[in-house]
Amino acid sequence: MSIDFSKIPTPCYLIEEELLRNNLQLIKSVQEQAGITIILAFKGFSMWRAFPIIREYITGAAASGACEAKLASEEMKTLAHTYSAAFQQSDFKDVLENSSHITFNSLTQLSRYLPDIQNFSRKISVGLRVNPEFSEVETALYNPCSPGTRLGILAEQLGSVLPEGVEGLHFHTLCESGAEDLVKTLEAFEAKFGKYLANLKWINMGGGHLMTRKGYDLDLLINTLKAFKQRWNNLEVILEPGSAFAWETGVLVSEVVDVVETKGIKTAILNISFTAHMPDCLEMPYKPRIRGAYQDAIDGKPTYRMGGNSCLAGDYMGFWSFDDVLNAGDQVVFEDMIHYTMVKSTMFNGVHHPSIGIWNENKGFKLLRSFNFDDYKNRMA
């Protein structure tokens, strides 16, 4: 049953259960074929009402700090692999209680918190994030290896042996990347950090492995990981993608509220905002696809910018063409709006936050959450 959009309230982030299950099946099969562990990075997708579905396939979670680690315990029913650019003392008790692995971004953070970990009632495995100083990511905003980066310890900052208590290394250098990028990254990583690997228990290769994108070379990924494991059979290999889980699994359904025209440019003003609800479009930047629209302007067809409903002058994108003229009340459906949307949205201008729903082929639409004035007010004091 294809989605009946007349049943969807706007605005709404709408995930399709079957598409999510397809991604999960693929990720699970990579995990099994390569003999590795794949965990979900909550930073990209933490729609916890979907965790019961996820747990049918994948059981682990990667957290960026105390809140995500707590969410892992409460809703994913697992202890998290937690890494933060800098842990704060006031949060660290929650981090300890909800993590199986804790990875530090600096040697000072390691020495500050290692005693707490060693005195904790349960064993927690300790890792360090290192920087292989190699990344193919071209957008500076998403490149953790750009000069002067604060993310990860450089090889030159480590001694000939790793500090006492460290059991794993973590690197994260990819972003929406192919398996070819991992191959090159591993070369750089092993050249710089290979001397430590024989004495470790695990290696976490971060996120950015977009294995659910069409055309991703899964065989190359699996063979690369298998070959790595053959070289280092003492190591558990962990990947922590976020985007790959929710890639192309759903849409943001919006509605035209008004159409304005200035010097021949028509803008359809929507009941959503790029900056508040699809921030990566402006930050990356990239132009999202709209269902049923032409991705570029076509002469002779009704052509519009899409405008957000915030006051930010740059809260628009365009142009797209349509077969028919747009009017107030028409739906506009943005594709692939599940990963890095809900997790990054804001209530800037108090604009109405999209509700969150799920579509199941047999059961149809289920509204999971809607937002109101109290949600807006309770973020402030």
Q: Site residues (CB under 6 A) for ligand PLP?
A: 41, 43-44, 62, 83, 172, 175, 206-208, 240-244
Query: Exposed e or buried b for every residue in 64-81, given b needs 16+ CB within 10 A?
Result: bbbebbbbbbebbebbbb
Nearer to ligand PLP, 247 or 322 (CB): 247
Closest by Cα among 61, 59, 57 to 72: 61
The distance of closest approach from Cβ of residue 171 to ligand PLP in the complex, given in angstroms and rounded to an integer, is 9
Nearer to ligand PLP, 174 or 326 (CB): 174
Query: Exposed e or buried b for every residue in 238-248, given b needs 16+ CB within 10 A?
Result: bbbbbbbbbbb
Rounded Cα distance between 113 and 103, Å, is: 11
Tokens of 358: 């799920």
Nearer to ligand PLP, 206 or 307 (CB): 206
The distance of closest approach from Cβ of residue 206 to ligand PLP in the complex, given in angstroms and rounded to an integer, is 5
Rounded Cα distance between 249 and 14, Å, is: 9
45 secondary structure, DSSP code: -
* Radius of gyration over every alpha carbon of the chain, rounded to an integer in angstroms: 22
Cβ atoms of 172 and 207 within 8 Å: the answer is yes
Residues written for the chain: 381
Rounded Cα distance between 41 and 55, Å, is: 14
The distance of closest approach from Cβ of residue 70 to ligand PLP in the complex, given in angstroms and rounded to an integer, is 18
Nearer to ligand PLP, 168 or 241 (CB): 241
Cβ atoms of 240 and 214 within 8 Å: the answer is no
Nearer to ligand PLP, 44 or 308 (CB): 44
Please report, as a single letter, which amino acid is at residue 176: E
Nearer to ligand PLP, 101 or 172 (CB): 172
The distance of closest approach from Cβ of residue 314 to ligand PLP in the complex, given in angstroms and rounded to an integer, is 24
The distance of closest approach from Cβ of residue 370 to ligand PLP in the complex, given in angstroms and rounded to an integer, is 26
Nearer to ligand PLP, 43 or 192 (CB): 43
Our CA angle for 327, 328, 333, nearest 5°, is: 85
The distance of closest approach from Cβ of residue 242 to ligand PLP in the complex, given in angstroms and rounded to an integer, is 3
- Closest residue to ligand PLP in the complex (CB): 207
The distance of closest approach from Cβ of residue 183 to ligand PLP in the complex, given in angstroms and rounded to an integer, is 17
Tokens of 289: 């696809």
Please report, as a single letter, which amino acid is at residue 164: E
**Which conformational region is residue 264 in: left (phi greater than 0), alpha (psi within -120 to 50 degrees), or beta?**
left
Nearer to ligand PLP, 241 or 308 (CB): 241
Nearer to ligand PLP, 12 or 175 (CB): 175
98 secondary structure, DSSP code: T
The distance of closest approach from Cβ of residue 165 to ligand PLP in the complex, given in angstroms and rounded to an integer, is 21
Rounded Cα distance between 294 and 322, Å, is: 6
The distance of closest approach from Cβ of residue 125 to ligand PLP in the complex, given in angstroms and rounded to an integer, is 16
